[in-house]
Amino acid sequence: MSEFIKTGNATSRRSFLKTSTLAASALPLRGRLLAQAAQADARIDVLPAEPIGTISPEIYGHFIEHLGGVIYDGVWVGEGSAIPNEGGIRKAFIETMRAVQAPLLRWPGGCFADSYDWHDGIGPAAKRPARTGFWGQQDSNRYGLHEFLRTCRAIGCKPYLAADLRSLPARDFYQEIEYCNAPAGDVPSNSAAKAEPNALAAERAANGDAAPFDVDLWGVGNESWGCGGNMSPEEYATEFRRYTAWTPSYSKTPLRFVAVGPNGDDVDWTTRLFKALYANPERRHLWGLSVHYYTSGSATKFAQGDALKFDNDEYYDLLTRGSIMERVVTDHWRAMRTEEGQPRVKLVVDEWGAWYGKGTELGPEYNLSQQSTMRDALLTGITLDIFQRHADKVAVANVAQSINCIHSLMLAKGDKFTVTPTFHVFQMYLPHRGAQAVRAEFTAPVIRNGMANASTPAGGNSYRGSLDASRALAGLSGSASVATAGNGKQITLTVVNPHLDQALTTEVVIHGAAIASATGTVMSETDVHAHNDFDHPNAVHPRPATTGQPAGGRLLHTFPAASVTTLQLTLA
Ligand code: AHR
């Protein structure tokens, strides 16, 4: 007999069937409904009366770093390039980011940020100094602040700047803010002195951008427990306060400062950081706590494993360890609590994705580029569903990284370009943006992780943490939201079925409402190793889902094996 699991709450097959029977007996179409429930392998209960929070559009965010072929070639091809571009920026990059309605883009790192001097990337291109950056590569600085802001404008997204805390003084941080945000022309002095033009705003205008960049989201360092300075949480708390104690502000909306959070599930970092920050009354502008959680392609070593060659056990193991993101979110939310209660600080998961070892990179100079299969599409769905289920906690998230690095949406090399399966999942999840997340329960046969005999490596480049082995993978997981337009009658349900050889016929029940009609989109391939490449850029793509006809207000829908599905449900 199969073993069943209810997401977040284990249940037995008997109790699963009993719940269905009791609920069905209250309805007029009892006979048909009982037959429907009996056909089902699984069940999804959506509870619109139990709202979680508004799903922040910024959880579908992006990240680009000066690393391998991310900036040079991926994003920046240069104005004179034969590769289609808009002022030097790869056109296909802009169009793909528009196609997923990218809300924000993080730059310039990553670890690169903590040795980057923003002055090097401004002014006439020919005069910019070439320097050695964090990843041991020479950087021409041809792509700098103005080019990045132009990229954001072309996409129509917000910039998220990671500031250098390890190697530049606090003065450079606040002057970078001033350079980005001070208005051009006379700036009121707020004193008896007369208004004067701001020198940094004038420099920005001379460099081509008279209008302020209005950057409101700032990362104060990156991975300060590792590449960002090997600090303790207490040392970082002191630095965070020093860098943010005073910064110039030109708008009524306060700047959003993001403090460096844990490596993976290092709860000790968060607990001690918040204790240290809150021990001092000056904690202004602490808006978010960053979280970096990568899923290694190997069960035992960080950033190892093959992106394309994996067996069934490795497939399940990766998705099980990826699902730990839920625990990372809830653990750190709890760890942020101080004696004064839960602070109004949000989680910013600014790096996530599956990270494999060498073997599928685009070339030796494309450090950390890797292929991406249907397995990564499922991990994308599982991860976005976790963020949506925790809409009250996660305000921002950035996949690492958008192009040519780790869990990318795009691969590009010269004039060759393809989107990955991950791109399609981002598109499929768009209807959740800004909608009201509501509780949903998924009851389905559980998958045992046969490889759960070692602790899980977790963390970023400066890896040092591990998590207990994770033994069970939810047989069906997902999230539900109610659109703000449409009088509460439009529900989006996204669902991942990780079973490799079991389609799951599922009864979908909306508590307190009846489903009138359903449409859907599905990504599923006969082989989970399926992927796109330069010669086959459309090998993996979503298709319209065959949805069942609702009966008695419920829907019986079959989620194919190893699939990601979006259902749009219209309520009666
Ligand atoms: O995304 C690659 C690297 O991973 C980033 O530079 C760093 O922040 C993390 O360790």
Taking the centre of ligand 1 as the mean of its atom positions, its distance from the CA of residue 352, in whole angstroms, is: 9
Which ligand 1 atom is at minimum distance from the Cα of 109? 6
The amino acid at residue 349 is V
By the 10 Å C-beta count (0-12 exposed, 13-18 middle, 19+ buried), 220 is classed as: buried
Q: Which residue has the higher pLDDT, 15 or 270?
A: 270
Q: Which residue has the higher pLDDT, 93 or 285?
A: 93
Categorize the per-residue pLDDT at 456 as very low, low, confident or very high, splitting at 50, 70 and 90: low
DSSP per-residue codes, 415-476: TEEEE-HHHHHHHHTGGGTT-EEEEEEEEEE-EE-TTTTSPEEE-STT--EEE----EE-SS
Q: Ligand 1: which of 227, 370, 402, 404 to mutate, most ligand atoms within 8 Å of CB?
A: 227
pLDDT digit string (tens) for 206-243? 999 999 999 999 999 999 999 999 999 999 999 999 99
Mean pLDDT along residues 535-559: 96
The torsion angles phi and psi of 459, rounded to 5 degrees, stand at 135, -170
Mean pLDDT of the chain: 91
Taking the centre of ligand 1 as the mean of its atom positions, its distance from the CA of residue 490, in whole angstroms, is: 38
Taking the centre of ligand 1 as the mean of its atom positions, its distance from the CA of residue 67, in whole angstroms, is: 9
Q: What is the pLDDT of residue 469?
A: 66
Taking alpha carbons only, the member of 469, 471, 465, 470 closest to residue 265 is 465
Measured distance CA(513)–CA(553) in Å, rounded: 7
Nearest-10 crossing angle of helices 374-389, 421-428: 30
β-bridge mates for residue 292, sequence order: 263, 351
Q: What is the pLDDT of residue 27?
A: 40
pLDDT digit string (tens) for 184-209? 999 988 899 999 999 999 999 999 99
Q: What is the pLDDT of residue 486?
A: 79
Q: What is the pLDDT of residue 34?
A: 62
Measured distance CA(75)–CA(62) in Å, rounded: 13
Output the residue whose Cα is nearest ligand 1's atom 7: 110
pLDDT digit string (tens) for 31-55? 555 667 778 999 999 999 999 999 9
Taking the centre of ligand 1 as the mean of its atom positions, its distance from the CA of residue 461, in whole angstroms, is: 5
Q: What is the pLDDT of residue 452?
A: 74
Mean pLDDT along residues 125-146: 96
Taking alpha carbons only, the member of 189, 197, 264, 263 closest to residue 233 is 263
pLDDT of residue 463 exceeding 50, the answer is no
Taking the centre of ligand 1 as the mean of its atom positions, its distance from the CA of residue 326, in whole angstroms, is: 20
Which ligand 1 atom is at minimum distance from the Cα of 63? 1
**Residues lining ligand 1, judged by CB closer than 6 Å?**
65, 109-111, 222-223, 292, 351, 400-401, 406, 460-461
pLDDT digit string (tens) for 475-496? 999 999 999 997 989 999 999 9
Q: What is the pLDDT of residue 264?
A: 84
Categorize the per-residue pLDDT at 278 as very low, low, confident or very high, splitting at 50, 70 and 90: confident
Q: Ligand 1: which of 62, 63, 65 to mutate, most ligand atoms within 8 Å of CB?
A: 65
Taking the centre of ligand 1 as the mean of its atom positions, its distance from the CA of residue 450, in whole angstroms, is: 29
Mean pLDDT along residues 293-319: 93
Measured distance CA(258)–CA(222) in Å, rounded: 10
pLDDT digit string (tens) for 388-428? 999 999 999 999 999 999 999 999 999 999 999 999 999 99
pLDDT digit string (tens) for 313-364? 999 999 999 999 999 999 999 999 888 888 899 999 999 999 999 999 999 9
Taking the centre of ligand 1 as the mean of its atom positions, its distance from the CA of residue 202, in whole angstroms, is: 34
Q: Ligand 1: which of 70, 258, 292 to mutate, most ligand atoms within 8 Å of CB?
A: 292
pLDDT of residue 8 exceeding 70, the answer is no
Which ligand 1 atom is at minimum distance from the Cα of 222? 8
Taking the centre of ligand 1 as the mean of its atom positions, its distance from the CA of residue 292, in whole angstroms, is: 8
CB neighbours (10 Å) of residue 315? 19
Taking the centre of ligand 1 as the mean of its atom positions, its distance from the CA of residue 351, in whole angstroms, is: 7
Which ligand 1 atom is at minimum distance from the Cα of 406? 1
Lowest-confidence range among 135-149, 251-265, 411-425, 453-467? Answer: 453-467
Measured distance CA(94)–CA(91) in Å, rounded: 5
Q: Ligand 1: which of 71, 230, 290, 351 to mutate, most ligand atoms within 8 Å of CB?
A: 351
pLDDT above 70 as % of the chain: 90
pLDDT of residue 460 exceeding 80, the answer is no
Which ligand 1 atom is at minimum distance from the Cα of 400? 1
